[in-house]
Amino acid sequence: MGPGIWSLFALFGLSLWSNSHALTKSPIFSRIRRAPEASEENKKCSYTFLVPEQKITGPICAARGYSTDKDRVTRLDVSVVRDLLSKQRREMETLKLVVDVDGNLVNEMKLLRKESRNMNSRVTQLYMQLLHEIIRKRDNSLELAQLETRILNATTESLRLASRYRELEAKYSALYEQPPLGPPLVQVVPENIPVNVPRFTNEIQRVNARGFVRDRGSHSGPSPTSSTLEVKKPPQRNFSGEGAFRDCLEAQEAGHSTSGMYLLQPHEAERQVQVWCEQDIDNGGWTVIQSRRDGSVNFFRNWDNYKSGFGNIDGEYWLGLEGIYNLGRQGDYKLLVELEDWMGKKVYAQYNSFHLEPESEGYRLRLGTYQGNAGDSLASHNGKQFTTLDRDKDAFSGNCAHFHKGGWWYSACGQTNLNGVWYTGGVYRSKFQDGIFWADYGGGFYSMKAVRMMIRPID
């Protein structure tokens, strides 16, 4: 029980004591005490019990013999006792109500304490969650700081490499007594880009007209508005483990009629090479020696790279000068150059003979007669040796590979640059004409979207 309950019981006890004390001092009890003062002869006590509505404890002594009105218990005295008892009853009922109220307060206090404990538990849980969140944010901040440090380090390294490249470029330019100017620019002729490419009839057009192939491997381009080179069906990715074959025509004759990757080993070649065989254009049998489509491969390479080849067979790649030379010396081959602009139109240039001379002659280019609808931009490169940044074999006073950012059979520097920089959108802005351009189709500042070079034995 709480201290409030004990205090209520103490007050109740004091009230009872005060009431009993008042009874002892009432006239009734005074008269009862004076009764023994009668004479000795008549001294006998008799007990008279007054039974009001409330029980009265203790005897009431009245002398026998004589009594006066003064010593009698009157109705008034009984009424007084009754009033006193009624008052005590009301006080007890009041105390009982107070006790009930205090009991309710105690219950409410217990509930409040229980709720307080629950709130303390919830506050502790929220505090732990907040602490966990603070720790997580601190870890994220540390990771962000580490990432920023890496970015700064990479930026510093790129700046250092750029500075080193400028120094090497300055040293390279200093090798000449008079730094040469850039090569003469090819005149831009945007009117040479046709709005609609008409159909044509020649030996590479099939009897049944079908649409041009849309994609190769994992990449795809928009369908052209007009077809130039007719195909049998959309190609599918394929890789043949058979072989190795002399070329893609031999693979086709062996029953492989699907375009895809194949292993070739030309006669007298020391190693096998992997190529993409195009079996859907002009009866198939075409060996792709160069492919540009998305700029995913850097073609600004040195001599060794251009000799051995680089890139991804199902994407952008260069077969390699040595591999192209080994293919061409097996017999009489022809060359097909396939061009696609940024409006989705495709044109072509075909040469009825093609081969390279050996490395001792700088892989000199040998071409035959042109036919097609792209214009003859490769004729000026016929008979020229291959030039890279580290082996300058062109006729220009400077290095055409430096200005055109690629390797090619440059003259001074020439009318085409199919191994240049892949620019998006067609027309590009650059100090030099270093895009993938074909001068007779768009000029020197129009970079083609896609280019392929393919060879096949002459029928």
Q: Which of 121, 136, 162 is the last residue of a domain?
A: 162
Q: Angle of helix 27-34 relative to helix 75-174, nearest 10 degrees?
A: 130
Question: Are 318 and 452 within one domain?
Answer: yes
Q: Which of 116, 139, 162 is the last residue of a domain?
A: 162
CA distance 115 to 265: 86
Question: Are 351 and 452 within one domain?
Answer: yes
Closest CA to 315 of 282, 292, 344: 292
Mean pLDDT of the chain: 79
Asked if 442 contacts 448 with a C-beta cutoff of 8 angstroms, the reply is: yes
Is 392 among the domain residues? yes
Q: Which of 151-155, 208-212, 345-349 has the highest mean pLDDT?
A: 345-349
Q: Which of 110, 136, 162 is the last residue of a domain?
A: 162
Asked if 15 contacts 88 with a C-beta cutoff of 8 angstroms, the reply is: yes
Enter the pTM of the model: 0.54
CATH of the domain at 426: 3.90.215.10
Is 225 among the domain residues? no
Q: Within 13 Å and on the Cβ side, how many CA atoms surround 68?
A: 6
Question: Are 270 and 413 within one domain?
Answer: yes
Closest CA to 264 of 281, 286, 284, 282: 286
> What region does 154 belong to: left with phi over 0, alpha with psi -120 to 50, or beta?
alpha
Question: Are 125 and 262 within one domain?
Answer: no
Backbone angles phi, psi at 450, to 5 degrees: -145, 145
Is 219 among the domain residues? no
Is 16 among the domain residues? no
Is 212 among the domain residues? no
Question: Are 257 and 363 within one domain?
Answer: yes
pLDDT tens column, 291-300: 999 999 999 9
Is 445 among the domain residues? yes
Residue 284 structure tokens: 């198939």
Question: Are 332 and 434 within one domain?
Answer: yes
Classify burial at 70, counting beta carbons within 10 Å of its beta carbon; exposed 0-12, middle 13-18, buried 19 or more: exposed
Is 419 among the domain residues? yes
Enclosing H/E stretch for 453 = strand 450-457
pLDDT tens column, 204-255: 333 333 333 333 333 333 333 333 343 334 344 444 556 689 999 999 999 9
The tally of domains found in the chain comes to 2
Backbone angles phi, psi at 406, to 5 degrees: -170, -170
Question: Are 315 and 428 within one domain?
Answer: yes
CA distance 357 to 84: 142
Question: Are 268 and 416 within one domain?
Answer: yes
Pairing of strands 219-220, 346-356: unpaired
Average pLDDT value for residue range 276-299 = 95
Is 235 among the domain residues? no
Question: Is 392's pLDDT higher than 80?
Answer: yes
Q: Which domain holds residue 286?
A: 248-457
Question: Are 261 and 363 within one domain?
Answer: yes
The type of residue at 22 is: A
